[in-house]
Amino acid sequence: MHIPESNLPRIVVVGGGFAGLQFCKRVNKNKFQIVLLDRHNYHTFQPLLYQVATAGLEPDSIAYPIRKIFEDQRENFFFRIGEAKNIDAEQQILETTSGKIAYDYLVIATGSKTNYFGNKVIEENAMPMKTIPQSLNLRSLFLQNFEQTLLTDSVNEREKLMNFVIVGGGPTGTELVGAIAELKNHVLPNDYPDLDFTKMNIHLVEAGERLLAGMSETSGKRALKYLQNMGVKVWLKTAVDSYDGEVIKTNTSKTIPTRFLIWAAGVQGSPIKGIPEEQIQRGNRIAVDENNKVIYSDNIFALGDVAMMVTDDYPRGHPMVAQPAIQQGRLLAKNIERLVDGKPLKAFKYSDKGSMATIGRNRAVAELQGMKFTGLTAWFIWMFVHLMALVGFRNKAVTFVNWVFAYVNYDKGARLIIRAFDKKRNLHEEKVPVGTGE
């Protein structure tokens, strides 16, 4: 991999997600040469992936070119496309699909990937949603199911095509199932007037006792009520044991025939090979100290979802969401300069900004700074926070216009099958690789 020579220490950053971007933005480029590596040439705003999957937004609304983000910080900054393969810590070399690169400091911000909890059958047949290509696959399969329903005379086949199942009752699952319910109630009957949408069933399957386990019980109950009022069938205390592509079997007597299963039941870290196995902790995350330094190393750091930092407040590690990643990236940018200057490093302390989830039009739950909001107020808060967090003015403007249009017209304009989805051929061709930061 060709990188210009420099007298400055070289920091190689793997992953252009929230953590990697924040670090690269804040680090002093007069003191370091920065090389950012990612498999894609864009940053993905993952919290809105579900809106791409449900035809609410086009992918260019939530993706932004990495080179454009740093167009005003080109001095001593280099971006390269590639996937990290292995770390040679002794030689201080990172092996990638684009060649080898030497480093003085390595920052691992590779994010997370879908966690199937070792169930290979489910992994082979369920649909993940961690990248833009995967979201487009979901959108295509979703719409193809209705097109196929119009072509079949089999009652059993129609049932499978009109049953939509989401596994996982966290924010991703609840937001996704709420968006699908809105499509059923307001949009799809106009597109397919010759289909009987009383036959369309939307299922949310959650192994725990309630929805939104990371939020208060009040928010979980309110989300459940919203979804049930929208016609969603919610199955609590129900775990999926297997799915062969046609029938879901659970730990209860419940079975669901379906050709559409989205797995949103958990994530795990996405570490790079070369990290000692004893440093890979629960959830496939890399053990780090209070400064995000990988335990066995003096010059390797891990940020965000892939980092397992155990503290008194977070004995199981910080939540695998955007805010810890952003805050860790910002602090490490300052700490790595202190490290070079021989100054003591500042310990990371997470400032919880709150949690929120939207469950369709005028329905949301939000918990911010000890205050709880529901309904229309929470919905406006959710929209404002997510709109402001998008990268780039154009993305903010396009997303805002799309949301206003959808609100006024009860419509979603991205109901396009851009590329037909072949489940056997495409299902796992777009896995989340190491080096995406997603």
Confidence (pLDDT) at 433: 47
The pLDDT value recorded for residue 422 is 78
Query: Looking at the predicted structure, is the pLDDT value of residue 11 above 50?
Result: yes
From CA 38, how far away is CA 23, in angstroms rounded? Answer: 14
Residue 364 has pLDDT above 70, yes or no: yes
84-88, 215-219, 242-246, 392-396: segment of lowest average pLDDT:
392-396
The pLDDT value given to residue 426: 56
* Contact present, 84 and 14 (Cβ < 8 Å): yes
Measured between alpha carbons, how far apart are the two ends of the chain, in Å?
23
* pLDDT confidence of residue 425: 56
Q: What is the pLDDT of residues 43-69, one digit of tens each?
A: 999 999 999 999 999 999 999 999 999
* pLDDT score of 423: 67
Which structural domains are found in the chain, ordered by start?
A: 10-39+82-114+267-340 (3.50.50.60), 120-265+361-424 (3.50.50.100)
For residue 104, pLDDT over 60 is answered with: yes
Nearest Cα neighbor of 117 from 284, 299, 333 is: 284
User: Quick check: is 157 catalytic?
Assistant: no
Judged against a pLDDT cut of 50, whether residue 418 lies above it is answered with: yes
% of the chain exceeding 70 in pLDDT: 96
Please pick, among 123, 175, 206, 438, the residue that the annotation labels catalytic: 175
The predicted model scores a pTM of: 0.91
Distance between CA atoms of residues 263 and 265, nearest Å: 6
How much is the pLDDT for 436? Answer: 59
- Per-residue model confidence as pLDDT tens digits over 272-308: 999 999 999 999 999 999 999 999 899 999 999 999 9
Per-residue model confidence as pLDDT tens digits over 218-253? 999 999 999 999 999 999 999 999 999 999 999 998
List pLDDT tens digits, range 350-363: 999 899 999 988 99
The per-residue pLDDT of the chain, averaged, comes to: 92
Question: Which positions ≥6 away from 359 have C-beta within 8 Å?
Answer: 174, 175, 178, 223, 226, 227, 230, 365
Q: What is the pLDDT of residue 413?
A: 72
Nearest to 282 by CA among 108, 117, 88, 109: 117
- For residue 431, what pLDDT band results from cuts at 50, 70 and 90? very low
